[in-house]
Structure 1
Amino acid sequence: MDRAAIVHQNFLRRLAANDLPEGLAPDPTIAPDKLMEMFRSQVLSRQLDRTSRVMQASGKGFYTIGSSGHEGMAAVAEALRPTDMAFLHYRDAAFQIQRAAQVPGQTPVWDMLLSFRAAAADPISGGRHKVLGSKALNIPPQTSTIASHLPKAVGAAYSIGLARRTPPEHGHLPADGIVMCSFGDASSNHSTAQGAINTACWTSFQSVPMPLLFVCEDNGIGISVPTPRGWVAANYANRPGLRYFTCDGLDMAQTLRISQAAADYVRRTRKPAFLHIATVRLYGHAGSDVEMTYRDKSAIEASEANDPLLHSARILRDANISTPHQSLEIYNEIEKTCIRVAQEVMEQKTLTDAAGVMASIIPPARACAPSNGPTPEARAQVFGNDIKQMGEPQSLNRLLGWALTDLMLEHGEIIVAGEDVGRKGGVYGITQKLQNRFGPDRVVDTLLDEQSILGLAIGMAHNGFVPIPEIQFLAYLHNAEDQLRGEAATLSFFSDGQYTNPMVLRIAGLGYQKGFGGHFHNDNSLAVLRDIPGIVIACPSNGADAAMMLREAVRLAREEQRVVVFVEPIALYPMRDLHEDGDGAWLTRYPAPDRRIGLDEIGMEGTGSDLAIISYANGFFLSTKARKHLEENGINTRVIDMRWLAPLPADALLEATKDCKNILIVDECRRTGSQSEALMALFTEAGRTRVARITAEDSFIATGPSYAATLPSADSILAAATALVMS
């Protein structure tokens, strides 16, 4: 049977009969008008759930995971300020509705029904998804069902204290604000949630400000799998650095009182708290879910008998605020409003073409204060003796460290964060001296958790910082790739460009480390990054390019609010020589701080038209070595450095090769899923027929002397190029 209809009929019947569940006596400290306001928010949340099902049945609505049973979240919203950033669980419509009551000029019925419709006029997503969220209400939209928004909530909370010490240009969270994030009992078991909560505790344990309220909405079941009774409390009641609160979410008065106590604790102590709210789940998991297939009828009926709206009506009755008959009138009145508005909303236009859907993948640019770069005096003071060495050729790792220094001098909102980036200077010394130069607030040593490192960056970016997080090795990204794919890259898309999280993620990666570390430290696959819409992937091959590309990456993040992944070839960090020992041909001089390499700007060595070799990073280095021998053999060659792997610099590559008879693509990544596939398609579709590729094998990289056996080499490039030209 339709459980939504049964819950509805039960509510009508029991209010008419004054048959309401028992509960605590009324709380005289809560104003009657506030209780009534929360009840109306709860009822509206319920009626929106019911309306969404009507819209879906008529083919005019597209999302029916509702909030029924979780209406107690209205009280949590009332306990917070509308300036407290809230990352919401998908069952928190009552929270958003109650917060809307705190901010003048809001129209939650209209706004939320537009979202159910996936209407182009939806004020939060622009018709791209049914999401809770509002710019005016300080609620960034979430599409997560597994608590993957918790790491960025940790980052946002951390940013509040950081902003007091280092104010960012675009910061907006108040100094006495807190951050709230909510999630389900089942999601609390996910590694992402566990990592985020552990990070908050780890931070709090060291007395670093972490004003964060975790709210666990415990309805006792995760889709079809019950949560063991008492598990959430046993798991979180005694965590070091985390204060535990619990309340009955069916009782809006108790929930308000306990939520106020939890919020006051977080706001006063700047330490995290865990608010455990007991709820029920009504209607099943979603509109298509048939609970009777996996849950006893008696358990379903017990949840329905504990309908939060029945408890709220009882509280209003016992406090002499509203009789059951009057509460029923409110319920019916709000139902009529939802039906009336839905009739209009169902005629609203949806997005109809790819351009409309994709319009918000790339964030809008923002106005930034002009910068003339670091002053000579500031540079002299910070760089010290390094200034004297800048006129001499240097290795890639040295120039990257200098570029970071100049950028941090120029932009005070840049925060470098990652494991070992501080006193140690990172695994390869790139961030050496930065913490001494700028202090631990701007060069943050994190705990060992890639999800938390990226979440920290995403959350800080919510408050105006330009984070430069570091992942030590490319293979380690896979522990946290959803923070890029499911959170950072999607935020602009699902918020219609209203929310962004710009950053420059530095990752040491790729192969050719002469046997060190095996596949854990030599990962030659970028496939996980290449198909994420909207992100920029940079991959330099030499020091001067790396410095200028990093400056462009920071500009893209700071001014255009882009998510940039900056992949640094580990094997080329210390590279000095090109053709023979001691030639120093791969060293470059540090470019002046105002020089950048723009997005889509490629590099080129040579002008030969017999052959164009297209590569990047280690492949460009090896191809440059091979070019010398090709030229000696009479094959006039140019070697092109892509530099930017996403978006693919297609026009620049086609232009740079238009007069070349043959094109060889050299890709150090695996044959399957590598850049070479897109490049082969690009040139084939452009009518180029003399195109070949050489790639790494579809293999992991071995440790020891065989480290390069599966990778392209200067000799294999020379052989492939000769064969192509002579064929």
Structure 2
Amino acid sequence: MARCEIVHENFLRRVAAGDLPSGRAPAGPLTADQAVAAFRAACLTRALDRQSRAMQRAGQGFYTIGSSGHEGMAAVALALRTGDMAFLHYRDAAFQIARAGQVPGQNPTWDMLLSFASSSEDPISGGRHKVLGSKALMIPPQTSTIASHLPKAVGAAYSVGAARRRRPEHALLAEDAVVMCSFGDASANHSTAQGAFNTAGWTSYQSVPLPLLFVCEDNGIGISTKTPKGWIEAGFSARPGLKYFKADGLDLYDTYRVASEAADYVRSRKKPAFLHLRTIRLYGHAGADVPTTYLSREEVEAEEAQDPLLHSVRLLDQAGVMQPAEALAIYKETVDRVARVAAEAVTRPRLKSASGVMSSLIPPKRDCRPTNGPTPEARAAVFGGDLKAMEEPQIMSRLINWALTDLMLAHPEIVMMGEDVGRKGGVYGVTQKLTARFGPDRMIDTLLDEQSILGLAIGMAQNGFVPMPEIQFLAYLHNAEDQIRGEAATLPFFSNGQFTNPMVLRIAGLGYQKGFGGHFHNDNSVAVLRDIPGVILAVPSNGADAARMLRESVRLAREEQRVVVFLEPIALYPMRDLHTDKDGGWMRLYPAPDEVIGFGDVGVQGTGTDLAIVTFGNGVYLSNQALPAIEAAGIKTRIVDTRWLSPLPKEALMQAVSGCKHILVVDETRHSGGVAEALMAHFHEAAPGARLARITAEDSFIATGPAYAVTMPSKDGITAAATELCK
């Protein structure tokens, strides 16, 4: 017999016989009505777990990780407010069910069974995944199994205090809200979780408001690997900046009492707390997992004997709230009702097409207050002498700085965060003066942890801010890229567009930086960014384009709720000259604040029909350097600046190369997995009459010193490739 059926039969038999586990008497502020609500939520959790396994056996359900043994989370839900945002562990059905009981119009039985059946009518994911979540209950869906939702919970908690100082237009959380995130004891060991704990403590240590409640559901095992006894308490009971609370999750009364104390501490002190909740895990890790393959039968049966539903029956009886016979009747009625509802849920429609699955990749547009840009008076007050400097051509880094200034003037919900972005003004001075202009609450100097930087941005975006996080170098993104792939990009997908985290992520990157840092500070790998569905990747090639594209990127985030990565070529930050010393050929005038390069607009320089050089970033600069020699060879050329690398602006690119006999793709990323692969495939499919060639970087890391550029395209290499192609 399956373990879920053994636990079920044991419950029926033991309650009927009055064979209930021993434990301390009920104590604490849990009312009779609350106790009954928590028990009903626990019964529904248990019945849904059993039903999901029955549905899977019948081919009607597809994912069976359950919450049995973690029913104490119902009491945690009752200790919080329904407006407190909750980022839930995947074993927290009891929390969602208990919260649903506090909000009118909710039907968690039907909703969760639709999710089990992968029905397109599932109100949270639209049939894309079996996830907990609800817009009405302030529960964003989570798919994480490694606690990667913890950094954004830190960000959401930080946003509560930030919104009190400057409330954004689309704020969701109340001024006294608490943010709760829950996870398992095994996940607490993951580096992502540890970074979040450290960031929370680091923030609290400096007395920065952070109303965040961590809830660790300690069932003592991660799939088959046991957590050492006492490990969680040893690691968190004396952590700086993080108040520790401990409760028995098998005892509804104790859990509610301690959770209420923890929530009150967080809400009143605006400081983070860690609630260590003892739980057990029934049935194994998931539906396909058989616990007796790695645990002895005696161990499994000992856990089952401590079934929290049995403890709840005892506690309710001792408190005079409900007799065991009544509790048993509620349990049986719940089981029967879930079976009846499931029979209908499995008949509901499912997703059948790629377009249906993908329809939530792009979040819906939202209405925003109209903005007319910063007023002349506001600009004069903030820019000061820089207004005079705008009359002369400038380098890219300075034009980006001015664009950021205008954007922050126009949109008070914009907040920047990153290592050294504030007082120092960034490693390359791109954010200089912004702290003096807008204050440290909008220019947040973070600790050195890219996962926490991105988590801060994601969490603040969920509370109405438009974050502009900065990753100092592209190479530093790779240890944190799952925050974009697994969290930011998937949120609208798994919530059917109901939850979003728009942002503009600025990254300094690409190659050609002389004499500094090798592959840690020069990184020409963008494949991971182009591989994330729904993410926009923009790469400017000169300062004026950077300013115009930044404005469009902010519009995309603010109005269309998109996640935009704005990759700034480091080597072009200070670039002044193009052909000869002091010719100023790569400096540009600052475009007026209303000038924008639209999403998907490509740049076309020249009208030649012999050759189109299609490139981006540093490639545009190098192609312009090569242009005189190419045209001296009699090749009439145009240079096409792609600008937007993901998604590729395919139609605009075809218009840009229209009429050209030859197409040369110049790609500073790597030969394998680089942008050129996509461009070559596109032109091969869409422009079969043109001759194609590409020049790319080698499949190599980048060296420090004199060899800094030898593995990447060069002016001479572009000239040679162009003349060879056009023979």
Matched residue, 2:610: 610
Q: Deviations over 1:261-307 (max 9, x none)?
A: 00000001000000000000000000000111111111111110010
Letter in 1 for 2:442: R
- The answer to which of 680-689 and 564-573 deviates more is 680-689
Whether contact under 8 Å (1:451, 1:479) holds in the other structure is yes
Q: Deviations over 1:555-592 (max 9, x none)?
A: 00000000000000000000000111111010000000
CA distance in 2 between counterparts of 1:629 and 1:588 reads: 24
SS for the counterpart of 2:266 is helix
Q: CA deviation at 1:207?
A: 0.3
Matched residue, 2:86: 86
Whether contact under 8 Å (2:610, 2:636) holds in the other structure is yes
CA distance in 1 between counterparts of 2:613 and 2:318 reads: 81
Matched residue, 1:446: 446
- Match runs of 1:448-463 below 5 Å: 448-463=448-463
Matched residue, 1:305: 305
Matched residue, 2:254: 254
SS for the counterpart of 2:8 is helix
SS for the counterpart of 2:707 is coil
Matched residue, 1:378: 378
- Match runs of 1:204-353 below 5 Å: 204-353=204-353
Matched residue, 1:2: 2
Whether contact under 8 Å (1:663, 1:692) holds in the other structure is yes
Matched residue, 2:11: 11
CA distance in 1 between counterparts of 2:605 and 2:34 reads: 72
Matched residue, 1:472: 472
Whether contact under 8 Å (2:76, 2:255) holds in the other structure is yes
Q: Deviations over 1:668-698 (max 9, x none)?
A: 0000111100011101111244001000000
Matched residue, 1:578: 578
CA distance in 2 between counterparts of 1:426 and 1:29 reads: 51
CA distance in 1 between counterparts of 2:673 and 2:463 reads: 36
Whether contact under 8 Å (2:236, 2:244) holds in the other structure is yes
Whether contact under 8 Å (1:151, 1:455) holds in the other structure is yes
- Match runs of 1:45-56 below 5 Å: 45-56=45-56
Whether contact under 8 Å (2:51, 2:339) holds in the other structure is yes
Q: Deviations over 1:535-561 (max 9, x none)?
A: 100000000000000000000000000
Letter in 1 for 2:598: G
Matched residue, 1:657: 657
Whether contact under 8 Å (2:29, 2:257) holds in the other structure is no
CA distance in 1 between counterparts of 2:655 and 2:639 reads: 14
CA distance in 2 between counterparts of 1:29 and 1:436 reads: 50
Q: CA deviation at 1:608?
A: 0.5
- Match runs of 1:103-118 below 5 Å: 103-118=103-118
Q: CA deviation at 1:28?
A: 6.3
Q: Which runs of 5+ in 2 are unaligned?
A: none
SS for the counterpart of 1:705 is helix
CA distance in 2 between counterparts of 1:631 and 1:725 reads: 11
CA distance in 2 between counterparts of 1:393 and 1:296 reads: 75
Letter in 2 for 1:717: I
Are positions 1:37 and 2:53 aligned together?
A: no
- The answer to which of 311-320 and 433-442 deviates more is 311-320
Against the structure 1 CA distance between its residues 343 and 578, is the aligned structure 2 distance closer, same or farther, given a 3 Å change threshold? same
CA distance in 1 between counterparts of 2:308 and 2:499 reads: 33
Matched residue, 1:197: 197
Q: Deviations over 1:349-405 (max 9, x none)?
A: 100000000000000000000000000000000000000010100000000000000
SS for the counterpart of 1:147 is coil
Letter in 2 for 1:357: V
- Match runs of 1:494-513 below 5 Å: 494-513=494-513
Are positions 1:561 and 2:561 aligned together?
A: yes
Letter in 1 for 2:429: G
Matched residue, 1:719: 720
Matched residue, 2:620: 620
SS for the counterpart of 1:557 is helix
Whether contact under 8 Å (1:515, 1:706) holds in the other structure is no
CA distance in 1 between counterparts of 2:565 and 2:300 reads: 48
Whether contact under 8 Å (1:515, 1:702) holds in the other structure is no
CA distance in 1 between counterparts of 2:261 and 2:577 reads: 64
Q: Deviations over 1:415-464 (max 9, x none)?
A: 01000001100110000000000000000000000000000000000000
Are positions 1:694 and 2:692 aligned together?
A: no
CA distance in 2 between counterparts of 1:199 and 1:210 reads: 10
Letter in 1 for 2:45: S
Q: What is the percent sequence identity of the aligned residues?
A: 69
Q: Which runs of 5+ in 1 are unaligned?
A: none
Q: CA deviation at 1:29?
A: 3.6
- Match runs of 1:162-181 below 5 Å: 162-181=162-181
Letter in 2 for 1:493: F
Letter in 2 for 1:231: W
Q: CA deviation at 1:27?
A: 2.2
Matched residue, 1:707: 708
- The answer to which of 494-503 and 54-63 deviates more is 54-63
Whether contact under 8 Å (1:245, 1:258) holds in the other structure is yes
CA distance in 2 between counterparts of 1:600 and 1:321 reads: 64
- The answer to which of 623-632 and 424-433 deviates more is 623-632
Q: CA deviation at 1:493?
A: 0.2
Against the structure 1 CA distance between its residues 482 and 302, is the aligned structure 2 distance closer, same or farther, given a 3 Å change threshold? same
Letter in 2 for 1:351: L
Whether contact under 8 Å (2:169, 2:464) holds in the other structure is yes
CA distance in 2 between counterparts of 1:715 and 1:341 reads: 71
CA distance in 1 between counterparts of 2:28 and 2:199 reads: 39
The count of residues paired between Structure 1 and Structure 2 equals 726
Matched residue, 1:73: 73
SS for the counterpart of 2:726 is helix
TM-score with structure 1 length normalisation? 0.99
Q: Deviations over 1:1-34 (max 9, x none)?
A: 4111110111011001100011111226432121
CA distance in 2 between counterparts of 1:716 and 1:258 reads: 69
Matched residue, 1:138: 138
Letter in 1 for 2:704: T
Matched residue, 2:682: 682
